[in-house]
Amino acid sequence: MDTRKVKDKLNRPLRDLRISVIDRCNFRCQYCMPADLFGPDFVFLPKSELLSYEEIERLAHIFVGLGVEKIRLTGGEPLLRKDLPILVKKIASIKELKDIGLTTNGILLPKYAHELKAAGLQRVNISLDTLNDELFGQINGRGVGTEPVLDGIKAAREAGLGVKINMVVKKGLNDSEIIPMAQFCKDNGLQLRFIEYMDVGSTNGWKMDEVITKKEIYSILNKKFSLQPVDPDYYGEVAKRYKYEDNEVEVGFITSVSESFCSSCTRSRLSANGQMFTCLFNGNGHDIRDFMRTGVSDEEITERITSIWEGRSDRYSDERTAETAANRKKIEMSYIGG
283-319 pLDDT, tens digit per residue, is 789 999 999 999 999 999 999 999 999 999 988 787 7
Name 13's bridge partners: 7
Kindly state whether residue 180 falls inside one of the protein's structural domains.
yes
Backbone angles phi, psi at 236, to 5 degrees: 90, 0
Kindly state whether residue 8 falls inside one of the protein's structural domains.
no
Q: In this predicted model, what pLDDT tens digit does every residue of 100-138 receive, in sequence order?
A: 999 999 999 999 999 999 999 999 999 999 999 999 999
Q: In this predicted model, what pLDDT tens digit does every residue of 137-183 receive, in sequence order?
A: 999 999 999 999 999 999 999 999 999 999 999 999 999 999 999 99
* CATH classification of the domain holding 221: 3.20.20.70
98: left (phi over 0), alpha (psi -120 to 50) or beta: alpha
Q: In this predicted model, what pLDDT tens digit does every residue of 56-104 receive, in sequence order?
A: 999 999 999 999 999 999 999 999 999 999 999 999 999 999 999 999 9
239, pLDDT greater than 80? yes
| Among the listed residues 90, 15, 81, 71, the one whose alpha carbon sits nearest the alpha carbon of residue 50 | 81
H/E element, 218: helix 214-222
Tell me the C-alpha distance between 127 and 166, whole Å.
Answer: 5
pLDDT at residue 21 in the model: 97
202, pLDDT greater than 70? no
pLDDT at residue 88 in the model: 98
Kindly state whether residue 9 falls inside one of the protein's structural domains.
no
Kindly state whether residue 7 falls inside one of the protein's structural domains.
no
H/E element, 241: strand 240-244
Kindly state whether residue 2 falls inside one of the protein's structural domains.
no
Domain span at 328: 16-336
245-265 average pLDDT score: 89
Contacts within 8 Å (CB) and 24+ apart, 8-12? 8/278, 8/309, 8/310, 8/311, 8/312, 8/313, 9/310, 9/311, 9/312, 9/313, 10/263, 10/312, 10/313, 10/315, 12/236, 12/263, 12/264, 12/265, 12/266, 12/312
Kindly state whether residue 222 falls inside one of the protein's structural domains.
yes
214, pLDDT greater than 60? yes
Is residue 266 a contact partner of residue 235, using CB atoms and an 8 Å limit? yes
Kindly state whether residue 6 falls inside one of the protein's structural domains.
no
Tell me the C-alpha distance between 76 and 91, whole Å.
Answer: 19
Kindly state whether residue 265 falls inside one of the protein's structural domains.
yes
Give the total number of structural domains in the chain: 1
Sign of CA dihedral 201, 62, 83, 129: negative
pLDDT above 70 covers what percent of the chain?
92
The answer to whether the peptide bond before residue 311 is cis (omega within 30 degrees of 0) is: no
pLDDT at residue 156 in the model: 98
321, pLDDT greater than 80? no
| 204 Cβ contact list (under 8 Å, min separation 6) | 30, 31, 32, 34, 333
pLDDT at residue 337 in the model: 67
